[in-house]
Structures are given as structure tokens and as C-alpha cells.
Structure 1
Amino acid sequence: MAFSKYLSALRRARSLAASEGGVLPAATKAVRLFRSSGLRGIKQALSARDTATAAAAAAAAAAAAASRGNRPKDNDDFAFEIPFARPAERDERRACAIIHAFYPELCGEMRGYLANVPGRLDLYISTTSEEKLQEITAAFAGYDKGSVEVRVFENRGRDIAPKLYGFADVYDRYDLALSLHTKKSPHGGTPLADWRHYLYEHLLGSPQIVASIFELLKHDRVGMVFPQHLFYLRPILGWGANFASCRALLRKMGVEIHEGIYLEFPTGSMFWCRTDALRTLRDLNLRFGDFDDEAGQIDGTLAHAVERAFLYAVEASGYQWAKVALRDRYPLPDTLIPVNAPADLPPGLKRVHRPLLSGRP
């Protein structure tokens, strides 16, 4: 009997320590309670905590589930292999690139990739200072694939605010848009050092890759094409601290999501899309002041919520989405679907596109 009481007390002490942020804060609180109310105060505090344990545990489990998100197993997550065997030539659709260049020193590298786009590609580039504007203008001097326009915005909303709202007037002039930015991931160390190149290679790695993506965006209401996730990121993909703000954002579009909904989004927020597939997001008319002050956050901002809202907005607009991957850059070859002829696209899309919203395509 004494031993069971000891175990019960130990469990309760551990619970208190965990809830108070560690042993020292818990001990400090216990001393304060003892001085003010004696042993009875400590017992009452523990009793009240025990009463709330079940509800707190249920809430914590729900929050953990929402944070992780509903994701497929690695071997069940498919993408189209690029480039296609014989991609079609580019059609007459107008295309632009909307680029956020926070790090103008990377513009030379980016310009090399943009040269792989067949045909005309107008550039709309945002940055955060006049000094950076001068660097960017110099980096794209002599660009001959289309027009170049650089705009300076305040440093809020990362690439998301400039892309959707700083260039809100641009989308209706084009059929297709490329979302790109000068990505660095200093918080990720060596594992994320190659993330930018991984995304650039999948979106712009060769003229054949771009032609393959253009062909996908011509097929059966595909509204967005983005790279399969960098494999290192797969175990940590989730809602993080963004579920509530993403749900609130989507509700403004008339879209409802719940904690168990299937989670998918373009990690890194780089993609090709049909411009009208983003209309529901753009019509929110958010302002730069709606976005968080920049403080080096790695999660939990409005920009992170918008990133996770992209595909739900695409589906709410009546479109599907597709992921693509290079065989030599992704370690699960059995999940890559080759396209040797246009007839391979419809059955492939049924495996690649997992509908996020019930009742949608």
C-alpha cells in the first residue's frame, strides 16, 4: 500500500514538474504554496491538476494529431517522373515568373536556371531595399526572354506577401506563373543546404523539364505543379503551429478543413501554376501589415499558414495539383510514374493527386 502511494505521488510530481516547465519551477511553486497554505494548499493544487488531467491529455492528443497532419506513407506518395520521354512543345499560353529576391547575390544562379524556359518569360521581382534593387537590376541586365520589373516592398511576409499581394495586378495578364525565390535555410544546417538547388532543378533544371511541367498544366484541370518533398523533410512535414491560422484563412474563402484532413503543400513555396488557380487566395486582398514582423521565425507566421493553404485553395477553385520528381534526386524510384506518351497522364494523375477536399476532383 505504501509503495503504491509512493508511485502515485511520484507520477503526480512528474506531472506537476512537466506542466510547470521542469523540476526547479515546480519546486518553487510548491514552496510558495506551502508558505501560503501549508500542506493543504499543495494537496489542493495537485487535486485540481488531477481533475483536469483527462481533458488536458485529450486536448494534447488532438493538438499533436493536428500538428503532425495526415500524411501518406513514403512508399504510397507518388510523383510524375520528369522529364517526360517526349514532352510537347510549348503552346501559346503567356507565362511570367514572380520572384522574391531577398538575397540578390543569388540572382545570377537563378538567371541561369530561367534560361531553360522555352519561349518568352516576363519577370516580376520583389526585394526589400533600393540597394538590393540596384544589385538585381545589374544581375538581370541584358535579359532577352521578356520584360523585367523590380519592386521594393517592406520586409514582411517573406516571399508570400510580395508574390500574392505585391504583384496582385500582374496575374490577370498571364495564363501561367512560376513562383520562385532566393531561398537560404540557415536554420537547417547541412541537411537543408541543397534545398534551393533541389527545388530549382525540379522546376527549371532543363528545357525538357519545363516543357513537361507545361504539358502537365495543360492536362485535365491541373492547376499547380510542384516538386516532390526533399526527402530529408518527409518525417517532419506537418501543420506545426499553423493549423488554426490556416483554417481561419480558408474559412474566409468558404473552405472548411478539420484536424484529420489530408495534408499536402508545396514545401519551400516554389511551383508552377495556372494563374487563376490562385484566385481565391488573391481575392482575400491581404495587406503587408497583416503579415508578421520579420524576426527569423521558422514556423507559426501567416506566411507559413498561406503556404499550407495553397493546395486547398487550388482545389476550391476547381483544379487538381501534381507533384514531380527527378529520378536521380529522389531515393524511392518505385514512387515515380514515368510519362512515355500523353495517354500515361490520366492514370498517373489518379495516383499522384490525392483530393484534399471532399466532393472535389
Structure 2
Amino acid sequence: MENIFDTYFNNKLYFVLSEDGCSVDKMVRHDVAIIVHLFYEDMADYYLAKLSEYARYFDVYVITPKKTIEEKAKKSDLNAVLKDIRGRDISAFLVAAKDIHSHYKYVCFTHDKKEHSESPEEGVALWRQSLWSNVAASTDYIFNVISCFENNYDIGVLSVPEPIGYEWTIWGKNLWLNNRKVTRELFRKLDIDADFDENKPPLTIGTSFWFRTDALKKLLDYPWKYEDFPEEPMPLDSTISHAIERAIAFVAQDAGYKTGIISCKQYAKEQLLFYSKCFGDIMSTMMDCRLFPNYSSFCDYKQKMRLQIMINRAKEIYIYGAGKIGHQTYDMLKWRGYPLKGFVVSDKNDNEDSCIEVGQLREMVEDVDYLVIVATSEKYKGEIEDTLNEYGVMKYIYYKDLGKLLGY
């Protein structure tokens, strides 16, 4: 199974859509719902004014824990649902809106956003722009989102691009943060088959996206309750809410759909200009400091660092393949003092008592930082990768890559 980010990147599933003019049959609007979670009373008027425009064409639902916002929404002739504050936008999506999704083919879910004392105001404003403008920039834009779905039957989710701004650092780091374990637990709960690679981004950060209801059926049909979510004040990380936020594209993939990114033209222009300047400044500095002569050398360095981190973290190392290459790799690592646990094979023969079948490995390393070194002929590489992915063994590298890193 291909990782969701690789599918997105390799298929170029980044769609820049116009805010003006659309070609889709507007009768499709009866299959569309826009669901918005509003929390901040001082920003409610801004969002409600926009939503009132869209309500002329689509069914709009405002979900809020604030009575004042509920009353304002009803006065604007919008559907309003009062919810428990617990779970914030995620419980709005999965608990308060549970009976809404099934009536529609396409649904937009988004929410308001406000800077906190520790957040840069300009940066949050740019993020708010991404969360809102890239799902609901205008009525025509919304119809163009629907057209994107109608013309791409394998697309199940369309999420927003990352925010831009000089103060944002999270998108330059690992987007999983401390949410790997809780996301794996969620996958098991929903019976989601996924290529979980912590070195690749999850695509859906921010809980602002469009989706086909068929694509997220496993998530939507689960009997979520407010009590499933942490009480306020909600922790900043490692909660079921953070896991669900990151799991959206994986749920869609499990249902047979791909996830893409949508952007309005204005935001795409700003993002391209911002990245061009940032990339140019960074590369210029790296070359001036003689760190990397070009981008390719930087990528090589990054790959070596990733492998080094995986090796250093591993408390147990297994060699996949008990042939000549496998034994040579085992002897080399043993001589260097690495924590080797044994050999892994696809099917164990009678004379391989010391080997572990790959089907047993997942259970053995469930709660351990492990690493599998694939040490077989190149012609078996794809077959072995499929086998490891099938059994949920995601932390593996190839012996040739290891050799480049360790110099053997």
C-alpha cells in the first residue's frame, strides 16, 4: 500500500480552483452541505455573513457551544445546532453533526480560528485565511470544488494547504508531533489498514476540508460520544482529537479514495511567492556557509540523518533475510555493537529455528522502538516491501542504504 503523501505527490493532486465562474451543473447543490463550527463570539458576525450568502445555494449548518451564536445563526435563517464544548471542532464534526452527513454526497467541514496570547497574530490570520478561503472562498469556488470531485471519482477528500507566514515553524518539522501512538490506536479502533510513515506528513492538519461521505464512512459510522474527547482545557497534543485530525486521509484511503489539496487562486499565488522567496533565501545561506552546494546534496544529507535517527532510536534490530547478504549484514552490525534480535523470514523452514516469521514480528515489536534491515537480493525488494506493509511493519530500511550510511 502506498503512503497517502506519496499518492498525493506522485499524482500531483494539488488543485488550484477559481473563485469566479464555474462549469458544474448547479443542480448538484442538493447533494452538498457546509458544516461550520463557530466558537468565538467576537468573530461570529464575519462568518455568519458569509454563510448566509452560501445558504442561498447550499444547506448550511452552524454548530456551536455558545447560545448567543446559535441565536444569531437562527436569525440569519441558518440551521443551528447547540453542542457540548467538550471535543471542540472534532466533536462538532463527529457527534453534533452525526445525523447530518448521511443526507449528502459532498460535505465541507471547517471552523473559526483565533490567535492566542502565545501565537503571532499575523501568522494566525494567514492560517485562518487558509482554513476558510481554500474551502469556501466564494459561491463559484464551492461549485468548482464540487466539479473537482465530479471530475475525479477517485478523490475522497480535498484538504487545505499548509499556512504561510514567517512565524510558522510546525510545517517545517514533523507534523506528527507526539501523536503517533494515539493515531495507531485510532487505526486499530476503526480497523484502518494504513502505511503509517512518521517521516511523511498526514495531509490533513487543521480540520478544514471537503469530503465524499462514502470516503469517511468508517469514521462517521463509529458511535462517537462527547465523553470520548478530553475535558477542557484540552491538552495541546496527544489526544484523540489530534489523532482524528491526522487520520482523515488514511480513512479515505482505506475506503479506496485518494486525498488532494485545494487552493483558491489568490492563496496559491501568495503561497508560491512566499515559498520562492523562502527557498531562495535558505539555499543562498546554505551555499554561502558551504553547507550544501545544491538541493540534491541537501536531500542526501537529510536521508542519511533520517536513517541515522532510526538506527539510534532502535532498541531491537531485525534482519529480514537469512541468506548470505543477511548474515553478512548481521555480522557487521553485531561487530559494531547494535542491538540485534535475530532474523526475519517470510516462511520459516525446519532448519531455521532461530528465525522469526514476519507475521509474528508485528506482535513482538508492538511497544518497542524497532528497525528491520531488509538484506535480500534487489529483485525481491518490492515483494518484501508489500509483505512488511501487509503485516503493519513500517520501520524498515535496505541494507544498501545502511551501507552508504555506515561506510561498508
Q: TM-score, normalised by structure 2?
A: 0.57
Show the counterpart of 1:220: 153
Q: Which moved more, 1:324-333 or 1:294-303?
A: 324-333
Report matched runs for 1:94-243 at 5 Å.
Answer: 94-115=31-52, 117=54, 120-128=57-65, 132-143=66-77, 147-153=78-84, 155-186=85-116, 187-190=118-121, 191-218=123-150, 219-231=152-164, 232=168, 233-243=170-180
Helix, strand or coil for the counterpart of 2:190? coil
Alignment check: 8 A CA contact 2:62 2:73 kept: no
Show the counterpart of 1:66: none
Q: Which has the higher contact order (CA 8 A, sep 6+)?
A: 1
Alignment check: 8 A CA contact 1:227 1:323 kept: yes
Report matched runs for 1:272-351 at 5 Å.
Answer: 272-325=210-263, 326-331=267-272
For each residue in 1:122-180, what CA deviation from the matched residue of structure 2 results, as whole angstroms up to 9, or x when unmatched? 2332222xxx223332255233xxx5132232x22120012112221111111121112
Report matched runs for 1:4-23 at 5 Å.
Answer: none
For the structure 1 residues 152 and 327, does the alpha-carbon distance in structure 2 shift closer, same or farther, using more than 3 Å as the test? closer
Residue correspondences, number: 260
Alignment check: 8 A CA contact 1:179 1:271 kept: yes
Alignment check: 8 A CA contact 1:137 1:150 kept: no
For the structure 1 residues 149 and 241, does the alpha-carbon distance in structure 2 shift closer, same or farther, using more than 3 Å as the test? same
Aligned-partner Cα distance in 2 for 1:173–1:71: 30
Aligned-partner Cα distance in 1 for 2:59–2:4: 38
Structure 1, unaligned runs of 5 or more: 1-68, 336-357
Of 243, 249, 254, 2:191 maps to: 254
For the structure 1 residues 71 and 169, does the alpha-carbon distance in structure 2 shift closer, same or farther, using more than 3 Å as the test? closer
Q: Which amino acid aligns with 2:112?
A: T
Q: CA deviation at 1:329?
A: 2.8
Structure 2, unaligned runs of 5 or more: 277-388, 391-408
Q: CA deviation at 1:86?
A: 5.9
Show the counterpart of 1:88: 23
Aligned-partner Cα distance in 2 for 1:298–1:180: 19
Alignment check: 8 A CA contact 1:241 1:300 kept: yes
Helix, strand or coil for the counterpart of 2:88? coil
Alignment check: 8 A CA contact 1:116 1:204 kept: no
Q: Which amino acid aligns with 1:82?
A: L
Helix, strand or coil for the counterpart of 1:272? strand
Aligned-partner Cα distance in 2 for 1:333–1:91: 38
Alignment check: 8 A CA contact 1:225 1:272 kept: yes
For the structure 1 residues 324 and 332, does the alpha-carbon distance in structure 2 shift closer, same or farther, using more than 3 Å as the test? farther
For the structure 1 residues 119 and 334, does the alpha-carbon distance in structure 2 shift closer, same or farther, using more than 3 Å as the test? farther
For the structure 1 residues 95 and 136, does the alpha-carbon distance in structure 2 shift closer, same or farther, using more than 3 Å as the test? same
Alignment check: 8 A CA contact 2:20 2:141 kept: no
Q: TM-score, normalised by structure 1?
A: 0.64
For the structure 1 residues 207 and 118, does the alpha-carbon distance in structure 2 shift closer, same or farther, using more than 3 Å as the test? farther
Identity %: 22
Aligned-partner Cα distance in 1 for 2:53–2:209: 15
* Aligned-residue CA RMSD (Å): 3.1
Aligned-partner Cα distance in 1 for 2:102–2:175: 32
Aligned-partner Cα distance in 2 for 1:281–1:251: 12
